[in-house]
Structure formats: C-alpha cells, structure tokens
C-alpha cells in the first residue's frame, strides 16, 4: 500500500512538472493576432511593377521604336524608346530618348513649362522622354495644313501623353505633348507614317515592334 502511494505521488509530480512551460524570453516573440508573421505570410505572391494580384489577368502590349518626325513649318525631332501598356487597366510604363534635330518653333515643344528652363526646344537640345498618361485617342495632323485625323489606342497603336526633358531638367520636364506610335499607317493622307509628335508632325520609324 505504501509503494502504491509513493508511485501515485511521484506520478503526480511528473504530470505537474511536464505541464509547466517557461515564459517567453520577450513579449515581442509572440505575434499579435493579424500580424504579418502569421502562417498566411508564406502565401504572399509578388507581381511585376508592384501591381496588385488582379493585374495578373491583364493583357499587356509591349512596343519599341526609333524614328524622326517633321512636317510642321519649323522643327524636326528624333525619338527612340518603348515600353508596355494595358488598355483595360489604363496601365502604361514607357520612356526613351529624344533630341530636337532642328528647333521646334510651334506647338507644345516650342513653349517650355519649366520656369527654370524656358524657351523652345532648340537644335540639339533634348535628352529623354517618359509617359504621363495612356490616352484612348487623339486628333492629329501630320502637317499644319493637313486634314485632321484621329488615332485610337489598340493592340498595335499606342497614344501617349509624354513629358520631354532637356539636359539639366532633372525630374522637372520642359515640355509635355501627345505622341502616337504604331506598327501600321496612322494616316490615310501620308502612307508609311507610323509615329507622330504634337506640333512637330509625322514620320516613318526605322524600327517599330509591338508584341503581346
């Protein structure tokens, strides 16, 4: 009977000892409810451009080009660059280089919006452009006297509102103007024209590539 009592007491002590746990070394080791350290964190999925998950179903078009535009009385502009866009989400990410081969004396590129860099885009000025917005469409002319036409953003044509920078501008653009880039003719009056800059004119790009 004595042995049985000793065994029962010993067993009780073992159970009590095993049931005790040491306190955490620091309260910070215990994540609060809803913390990002919960098990769901392992299910995080990253997407390109930091876009939300719903953008995974978007159909983006990529494009690249280089060419020269002219047609208005004063000005010739060389452009190169490219990027991607999605019409459904209104997403666009495009940029490139630009240079005024000849001074532009009419239209948006003749009127700087940068108080620290006034005046038109003169010969050999210009360094880069980037995108301010993706546009659904725009009216345009290849020359000042030409009939006005309309370009519409599609799978093979992109209409952009672009910012243009000169050397030393930093992040403050000198000009903002509309652009068109296409892998086909944009004008029924000027066969072969597939790029355009507002106030400068149209051109036939040496290289235009669109992919989906």
User: Where are the domains positioned within the chain?
Assistant: 60-211
Q: What is the chain's mean pLDDT, rounded?
A: 80
- Band of residue 212 on the pLDDT scale cut at 50, 70, 90: confident
pLDDT above 90 for 56? no
Burial 180-211 (b: 16+ CB within 10 A, else e): bbbbeebbeebeebbbbbbbbbbbebeebebe
For 67-78, what is the mean pLDDT?
98
pLDDT at 171: 95
For 36-42, what is the mean pLDDT?
34
| Cα 67 from Cα 83, distance rounded (Å) | 16
pLDDT above 80 for 54? no
| 3 state SS of 197 | strand
pTM score, two decimals?
0.72
For 134-160, what is the mean pLDDT?
97
Residues 6+ apart with CB under 8 A from 89: 55, 58
pLDDT at 178: 98
pLDDT above 80 for 140? yes
Least confident span in 57-61, 91-95, 101-105, 138-142: 57-61
| Cα 163 from Cα 111, distance rounded (Å) | 13
- Band of residue 28 on the pLDDT scale cut at 50, 70, 90: very low
């Amino acid at each position: 009977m004595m042995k049985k009592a000793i065994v029962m007491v010993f067993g009780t002590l073992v159970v009590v000892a095993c049931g005790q746990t040491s306190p955490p070394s620091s309260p910070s080791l215990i994540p609060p409810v809803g913390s990002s350290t919960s098990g769901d964190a392992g299910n995080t999925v990253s997407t390109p451009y930091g876009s939300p998950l719903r953008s995974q179903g978007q159909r983006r078009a990529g494009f690249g080009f280089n060419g020269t535009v002219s047609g208005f009385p004063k000005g010739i502009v060389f452009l190169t660059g490219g990027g991607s866009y999605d019409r459904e989400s209104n997403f666009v990410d495009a940029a490139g280089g630009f240079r005024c081969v000849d001074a532009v004396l009419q239209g948006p590129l003749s009127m700087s919006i940068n108080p620290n860099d006034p005046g038109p885009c003169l010969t050999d000025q210009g360094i880069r452009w980037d995108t301010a917005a993706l546009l659904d469409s725009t009216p345009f002319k290849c020359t000042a006297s030409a009939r006005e036409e309309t370009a519409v953003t599609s799978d093979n044509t992109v209409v952009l509102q672009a910012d243009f920078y000169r050397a030393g501008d930093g992040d403050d653009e000198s000009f903002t103007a509309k652009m068109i880039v296409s892998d086909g003719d944009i004008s029924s009056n000027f066969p072969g024209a597939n790029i355009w800059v507002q106030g400068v004119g149209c051109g036939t790009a040496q290289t235009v590539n669109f992919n989906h």
